[in-house]
Amino acid sequence: MSATGIGRGIVLLAAVAAAAGAGYWYGTRHGGAAHAPATAAADPGKGERKVLYYRNPMGLPDTSPTPKKDSMGMDYIPVYEGEDVDAGGGVKLTTAKVQKLGVRSVAVERRVLDAVVRASGRVEVDERRLATITPKFEGYVEKLFVNATGQYVARGAPLFEAYSPELLATQREYAIAVQGLAQVEGGDEVTVAGMKRLADSALERLRNWDVTEEQIARLAAGGQPQRALAFRAPAGGIVLERRATQGMRFMPGEMLYQIADLSSVWVIADVFEQDIGRVRAGQAATLRFDAYPGQVFAGRVTYVYPTLKAETRTAQVRIELANPGGRIKPAMYAQVELPAAGRPVLAVPASAVIDSGMRRVVLIDQGEGRFEPREVKLGARGDEHVAVVEGVKEGERVVVAANFLIDAESNLKAALGGMTGGADVAGSKQVTHSAVGTLDDFDAGSGMLLITHEPVETLKWPRMTMEFTPANDAVARSAKPGAPISFDFVERKPGEWVVTRIEARK
């Protein structure tokens, strides 16, 4: 190698050494190593968020530390530090969002369920106040004193006179036996005993045929046998049925009259199977009749029938009701209410329960905007509250406003996603729309609300009448048909609009 080439090599080595020394000096001055640039590229910048974990896209309680797909091929959703969704499937809202949505919660407490069992009933005659007139001998109707159905008769009043050859012969036999007994008085014992047996036999037959003691006494006193015997009313009341006609022939056991005392009547109510456990004998009852609008009648449960109608799944309950003046007529229909108070139980408002049909869930308010969905087991239901057998503790707070009923568990997660402003199960945003209008009707059978609403700016809708689905029973009963309302609604799926809030407007 020439001197010139050697000189160039020395210069090149010196340049490389200088460059390496400069790099080392720069790295030590900035606290980094030689590989610092690669680390910086892998580290997120100051504006990026840290991924905590990945949650199930369908809202199931399943998380993963790394990206993955679920059984349907959907990507798990990343949850970043500071996001609203908790690892346990709960939700965290800001104070502003809680106020905007109108979230309201109440404490779980023990209370007596103010339940009222409602049933329909019909008026029937009190069976203990029903009398049937049936002769015990063969004969003919000679004369009618009561000849109209619905006529009132007093106790002991004559109904009709009957002629019977057998009855007339027995009267004569008794009269002769009594007279003969008087004539042989003091005679031999055999004759007296025989005559007495004859008189007693005739007397027994007359009594068995319902001949009154007054008539028997007249025969014994020497009176003449009566050709026709008067049948009298055994009880006072209304003639419900009359089969006796002038001159007709009747046979023993044939019903000629039926009389009912309507001063007290029965109402037989059909109580549904799920309510029968809250009804007992001696319980007070409130009744209303279409014939007397606005009037309330008081009765009392006297008997709960031991059988159930398989066709209607109802049991009959007998209610006794005073009926002065006979205003309440047999066969009238009645609306029955039975207050069913019991012992205190752990209960939550009915509006707090989200019922999917398979599961019942409440949202627990954990404070600071955190809400936890929790499955519960329910007990008896009242008008406004429902007993909770399992799932919550006394003192915990449950959300009673801004939650709504969807008919599947996945839709519950969609609701939670809508509360946090996140995506629902389909990956789209749920937007709450507000409007005013008039509640035209509520169809209890289909569960649909018919609402005439004013223009909706957020959807560019004109004024029109359309059907909405209520989120739950509490929403459906928030206003009466015909009332002006303000309401919120969301689109659960294309073309299905769910009302989540209704308030009556003045």
Domain count, the chain: 6
The CATH number that applies at residue 296 is 2.40.30.170
In the chain, the amino acid numbered 334 is: A
In the chain, the amino acid numbered 111 is: R
- Whether residue 438 lies inside any domain: the answer is yes
- Whether residue 7 lies inside any domain: the answer is yes
The CATH number that applies at residue 361 is 2.40.420.20
- Give yes or no: residues 449 and 351 share one domain: no
Q: How far apart are CA 438 and CA 53, in angstroms?
A: 47
Q: Other C-beta atoms within 10 Å of 180: how many?
A: 17
Q: How far apart are CA 416 and CA 363, in angstroms?
A: 10
- Give yes or no: residues 176 and 269 share one domain: no
pLDDT tens column, 290-308: 999 989 999 999 999 999 9
- Give yes or no: residues 438 and 470 share one domain: yes
- Whether residue 375 lies inside any domain: the answer is yes
- Give yes or no: residues 402 and 459 share one domain: no
pTM: 0.50
Q: Other C-beta atoms within 10 Å of 162: how many?
A: 21
- Whether residue 89 lies inside any domain: the answer is no
- Give yes or no: residues 250 and 172 share one domain: yes
User: Residue 345 — very low, low, confident or very high, per pLDDT cuts 50/70/90?
Assistant: confident
C-alpha distances in Å from residue 390, one per residue of 349, 375, 379, 475: 15, 9, 9, 25
- Give yes or no: residues 73 and 218 share one domain: no
- Give yes or no: residues 62 and 147 share one domain: no
The CATH number that applies at residue 440 is 2.40.50.320
Whole-angstrom Cα Rg for the chain: 45
Is the model more confident about 385 or about 242?
Answer: 242
- Give yes or no: residues 295 and 246 share one domain: no
- Give yes or no: residues 139 and 202 share one domain: yes
3-state secondary structure of 478: coil
- pLDDT at residue number 139: 92
- Whether residue 90 lies inside any domain: the answer is no
Is the model more confident about 396 or about 415?
Answer: 396
Is the model more confident about 209 or about 124?
Answer: 124
- pLDDT at residue number 154: 93
Is the model more confident about 284 or about 189?
Answer: 284
Which residues constitute the domain of residue 328? 118-126+261-340
Count Cβ neighbours within 10 Å for each residue of 239-265 and write b for 16 or more, e otherwise.
bbebebeeeeebeeeeebbbbbbbebb
- Give yes or no: residues 154 and 222 share one domain: yes
Q: CA nearest 403: which of 483, 367, 484, 349? A: 349
Which of these three, 283, 307, 340, is where a domain ends? Answer: 340
- Whether residue 426 lies inside any domain: the answer is no
- Give yes or no: residues 318 and 227 share one domain: no
pLDDT tens column, 22-73: 333 333 333 333 333 333 333 444 456 778 778 766 555 567 888 888 766 7
pLDDT tens column, 179-234: 888 777 777 777 778 888 888 888 888 888 878 788 888 877 777 788 888 888 98
- pLDDT at residue number 59: 52
- Whether residue 376 lies inside any domain: the answer is yes
- Give yes or no: residues 38 and 49 share one domain: no
pLDDT tens column, 246-272: 999 999 999 999 999 999 999 999 999
Q: CA nearest 384: which of 418, 348, 355? A: 348
Contact by Cβ (8 Å): 387, 347 = yes
Task: Find all residues with CB under 8 Å of 422, minimum gap 6, and list them.
Answer: 84, 85
